[in-house]
Amino acid sequence: MNLSDYYTATNQQQFCFTREQGSHFAKDIADDFNPLHDVQAKKFCIPGDLLFALSLAKLGVSKKMQFSFNGMVTAGVDLHFSEPETDQVTILDAADKLYMSIERSGDISQNADFASLLAESYVAFSGHTFPHVLVPLMAEQKVMINPARPLVIYQKMSIDLQRLDFTSVALEITHSQLKVEGKRGSAVLQFCFKSDGEVVGQGEKVMVLSGLREYDQQVIDELVAQYDAWKKAYVGA
C-alpha cells in the first residue's frame, strides 16, 4: 500500500483528501463498498480506516492507542494533527473543528514498515464488517439497518499491543455483539492480533447503526445482493 496515493499534503503540516482518494482506498485497500464512500455519494465521507492508517504513518505506533471519530471528514477539507508529540492528539480543520481524537501510551515504534504492516492488516480485516459480521448480529437481535439509507458509522477503535517487533500479523475475531436502543444500535467487534500463531495484541472496533427497524430476511438478502453487485461492478470495471 502506497499511502501517499490516498491523501494530498497541502503543506508540511496540513493534508486533505479527494473523493477519488477516499473511494479508491475504501474499495481497493479495505474491500469496503459502503455507499458513503462512493465518489458520487450525496453524503460522502472519507473512510475512518484511512484516517487510522495515516495516523500510524505520521505519528508512529504506540502499544496502546484509542481512536475516537468525532465527525465525518468530507473531501477538500484541510486537516492537521494537533500536538503530534503528545499522548493526546487530535485531527482538526482550519476552524479547529474536531474530526478525530487519539489517545496513546506505552512504547512507540517509528518504523514505517511496521506502521504499514499494522495498518494494512487491520484495514483489510475491518473492511469486511459488512456483511460478514453485521448481518449475523442484526439477525440475532431481530433488527436491521434502513436498506434505503444503510448508515453504519465508525465511532471508535482501539489497539493494545504486547510487542512492536513482529513482521507478520493476522487478525481474528474474538467476540462480537450488537447493543440495541430503540432505532440505534452499537456494534462491538473485539479481535486479536496473531503473529506466527502467537497472540501479540488485542483490539476493539465500535460502530453506530442508525434507523434500525424490524428484521426482514428477504430485504437483508436483497441488500447483501446489492452490495455484492456493487463490488462485482467495480472489480469488473
Domain ranges, residue 108? 3-236
Q: Flag whether pLDDT at 1 surpasses 90.
A: no
Residue 237: Cβ-neighbour burial (10 angstroms; 0-12, 13-18, 19+): exposed
Distance, in Å, from the CA atom of 38 to the CA atom of 23, rounded to the nearest integer, reads 6
CB atoms inside a 10 Å sphere around CB 196: 10
Task: Name the least confident of 74-88, 100-114, 141-155.
Answer: 141-155
Helix, strand, coil tally for the chain in percent (to 5) = 30, 35, 30
149: amino acid identity, one letter: R
Residue 237 has pLDDT above 70, yes or no: no
Cα–Cα distance for residue pair 3/7, rounded to 1 Å: 7
- Average of pLDDT values for 92-98? 96
Tell me how many domains the chain contains: 1
Q: What is the pLDDT of residues 8-49, one digit of tens each?
A: 998 878 999 999 999 999 999 999 988 889 999 988 999 999
For 4-40, b/e burial (b = at least 16 CB within 10 A) is: eebbeeeeeeebbbebebbbbbbbebbebbbbbbbee
pLDDT at 236: 63
Q: Supply 70's cell numbers.
A: 468525532
Q: Which grid coordinates are listed for 158?
A: 482501539
Please tell me the pTM assigned to this model: 0.93
CATH number of 100's domain: 2.40.160
* Environment class of 233 (CB within 10 Å of its CB; exposed 0-12, middle 13-18, buried 19+): exposed
Taken in order 61, 65, 70, 72, the sign of the CA dihedral is positive
Strands 198-209, 14-16: pairing is unpaired
Number of other residues whose CB lies within 10 A of the CB of residue 222:
12
Distance CA 105, CA 61 (A): 10
Say if residue 235's pLDDT is above 80.
Answer: no
